[in-house]
Structure 1
Amino acid sequence: MGLEGELFKGWPCQFRLNKYHFTPQTIGSSGAPMHTDAGFLTIVQDDEIVSGLEAVDKKFGALVPIDPVPGTLLVNIGDLGKAWSNGRFYNVKHRVQCNEGTICMSIALFVLGPKEAKVEAPAQLVDSDNPRLFVPFSFEDYRMLRISTRSPTGGALELFRVTSTA
């Protein structure tokens, strides 16, 4: 993107091990309901044997299975990634479904957002062709807004959208 410097220095991360206890009785149920990740990005080591991750296709709105590929990591942009990139990155709606009655595991590293600084698109990503889409906001304010509005699929981000003055 042509940006330099220590753009994400000091941003906290969270490491999580997900273990889904799927059984024959839970086939077809949700292990993790539809959501977007609140932070900047997520790096996932998915279960290489058991599939279940599904993402919403941006163009058609349909759920698409994300089959595991052995030896790879999955990178997912979150809500803060969309705001920080001034809409150039897309926050992907996704869920985990039970496709078979067995234990499914994944390991995720979440790059959250700055502890004290505001999240905003760098000046290099804002111009007359790409006006600022979101007002600066703190990660904690956004996290609390997602909880209070019960908006796990990125809808709360729209509350920080710049309103048109035209």
Structure 2
Amino acid sequence: MKKLGVCIISILVFLGCEQAEDNSEIPTIEFLSFNVIPGDGESTIAEGIISFSFVDGDGNIGFLENTDANNDGNDTNNMVDFVYTEYHKQNGVFVEKSGDPYYLPYFEKGIYRKSLKGTIDIYLPRTILSPDTVYYEFYILDRDLNQSNIEITPEIIYSELIEQL
């Protein structure tokens, strides 16, 4: 009976251990949603929010140079690690417009887990002069400059979303 108890406890301890995750060192992302919130009323009329999930097998997302502690206010020292392109509708055809630089937060590598996964929200301010109908293509880069897959949002009509606020 004593051996059975030790055996059961050993099995429970073994099953309770975290299994190592086998994720690619190249980050993967998945578009989750797009939402709009009101702007500050001065320079922005609204902000679009792209939400996406990510998984990186070696957990090296974000550059230390981009953290507030290391940021001297000079964007030339920062490493762009979220890249997006806005396509706005002009005369019925979508036209490419490069997005502004965006910097992801620095994530420390875990002690027990190499991989990193989570959800990120990217805020895109809109002014009265911003195009109304757009879609976005985006990807991320990790610290080894591995590029993730490219995700694409559906067509977004800001005026309709702002009306619903």
In which range does the TM-score fall when normalised by the shorter chain? under 0.3
After TM superposition, the score normalised by the length of structure 2 is: 0.24
Larger radius of gyration: 2
Higher normalized strand content (fraction of residues):
2
